[in-house]
Amino acid sequence: MRQRTDVPHGTLGLMVLKTLDVLGPLNGYAIARRIEQISGDLLAVNQGTLYPVLLKLEQEGAIESEWGTSENNRRARFYRMSRAGRKLLQAETRDWEQTTAMLGRFFELTAEDLT
- Domains of the chain and CATH, by start: 11-109 (1.10.10.10)
* C-alpha to C-alpha distance for 18 and 10, rounded to whole angstroms: 13
* C-alpha to C-alpha distance for 51 and 30, rounded to whole angstroms: 12
Cβ–Cβ under 8 Å, residues 77 and 28:
yes
Condensed to tens digits (0 to 9), the pLDDT of residues 5-52 reads: 566 667 899 999 999 999 999 999 999 999 999 999 888 888 888 999
Cβ–Cβ under 8 Å, residues 35 and 19:
yes
Cβ–Cβ under 8 Å, residues 32 and 48:
no
What local confidence, expressed as pLDDT, does residue 1 receive?
46
What local confidence, expressed as pLDDT, does residue 97 receive?
93
For the segment 92-101, the average pLDDT, to the nearest whole number, is: 93
Whether the predicted pLDDT of 2 surpasses 70: no
Whether the predicted pLDDT of 106 surpasses 80: yes
pTM: 0.83
Condensed to tens digits (0 to 9), the pLDDT of residues 65-87 reads: 999 998 889 999 999 999 999 99
Strands (E), 1-115: 26-27, 63-69, 75-81
